[in-house]
Structure 1
Amino acid sequence: MAYDVDFTEVSTVGLESSPAAEALAGLRANEARYFKNKYDHTFSTEPADEAADVVNHVGRILDEERGIVIASPALEATQFEVEGVRWSYVFYESGLSINVLWTLAEGGKRAVGFKLSDGMEVPDELAAFKFARQKSKLAGTIRGSYFVIKGDY
């Protein structure tokens, strides 16, 4: 069942099994606020088992582009299109959020972004990346990194 993420009253719905549930909920709410403010889009997520195609798609890109396999189980995922860009998000039990930005127009931007919940250690599979810090009222300190997608998925 889909969950419309509320960024005014942050909730851990769907993320309860995560040891970083509060921080991950803040991170998810931060994303919801961004899409509402920038595109007037309501950010909705589904349990990972109901959005297995999205989880598998993101996993395939990570594996084929960089040989990355995320050790933590996926909790929630979503995929949507806004202004010619397809966005895929997966939220993991460890507190990690991964998004794939895929511009539908030929030659557009295509990238994978990683965000670590406040207080989360960098997972071993992402140790090669450098993470920049960003402050958020909803999520505390978010650390993020990304890479450009070279293949076609």
Structure 2
Amino acid sequence: MAYDVDFTEVSTVGLESSPHAEALAGLRANEARYFKNKYAHTFSTEPADVAADVVNYVSHILDEERGIVIASPALEATEFEVDGIRWAYVFYESGLSVNVLYTLAEGGKRAVGFKLCDGMDVPDELASFKFARQKSKLAGTIRGSYFVVKGEY
């Protein structure tokens, strides 16, 4: 069952098993607000088992590009296309959000982004990344990092 993420009334729907459910819900709502304001797109997520193809796609890119395997179980995922960009998001129980930005046009931007919700530790598999801090009314302090995707997916 798809869940349209509401950024005015932040809800932990689908994220309840996370020890950082409130902060992760704020992070998810922050993403929903961004897509609504920039692209007029409604950000909807599905349980990870329903969106297994999205989770596998993101996992494949992480493994192929950097040999990264996320240890935490995936809780929710989504995939959509806006303005010629394919976006994929996976929200993990640990409080981590991973997104893949993949411009469909040749030579466009392609990257993987990591966001850590407020209060979570940097996962061991991401220890080599430096994280910048960003303040959010919905999510508190978000720490983010990324890398450029070199391959074709």
Q: How would you bin the TM-score normalised by the shorter chain? A: over 0.9
Question: What RMSD in Å do the two structures reach over aligned CA positions?
Answer: 0.3
Partner of 1:131: 131
Offset at 1:100? 0.1
1:62-77 matched pairs, under 5 angstroms: 62-77=62-77
Q: Which residue of 2 aligns with 1:143?
A: 143
| Counterpart check, 1:83 vs 2:83 | yes
Deviation per residue, 1:50-81 (Å, 9 max, x gap): 00000000000000100000000000000000
1:58 counterpart letter in structure 2: V
Aligned equivalents of 1:3 and 1:93: distance in 2? 17
Q: What number of residue pairs does the alignment pair up?
A: 153
**1:14 corresponds to which letter in structure 2?**
G
1:2 and 2:22 are equivalent in the alignment: no
Determine the structure 1 residue equivalent to 2:97.
97
Per-residue CA deviations over 1:86-107 (Å, capped at 9, x if unaligned) read 0000000000000000000001
Q: Which residue of 2 aligns with 1:11?
A: 11
Cα separation, 1, equivalents of 2:106 and 2:46: 29
Query: Distance between the aligned counterparts of 2:67 and 2:47, measured in 1?
Result: 25
Gaps of 5+ in 2: none
Displacement of 1:24 in angstroms is 0.1
1:126 is displaced (CA, Å) by 0.1
SS in 2 for 1:38: helix
State the partner residue of 2:114.
114
The TM-score with structure 1 as length reference comes to 1.00
Aligned residue type for 1:22: E
Distance 2:101 2:82 in 1: 10
* Helix, strand or coil at the partner of 1:56: helix
Q: TM-score, normalised by structure 2?
A: 1.00
Identity across matched positions, percent: 89
Superposed structure 1 runs of 4+ greater than 6 Å apart: none
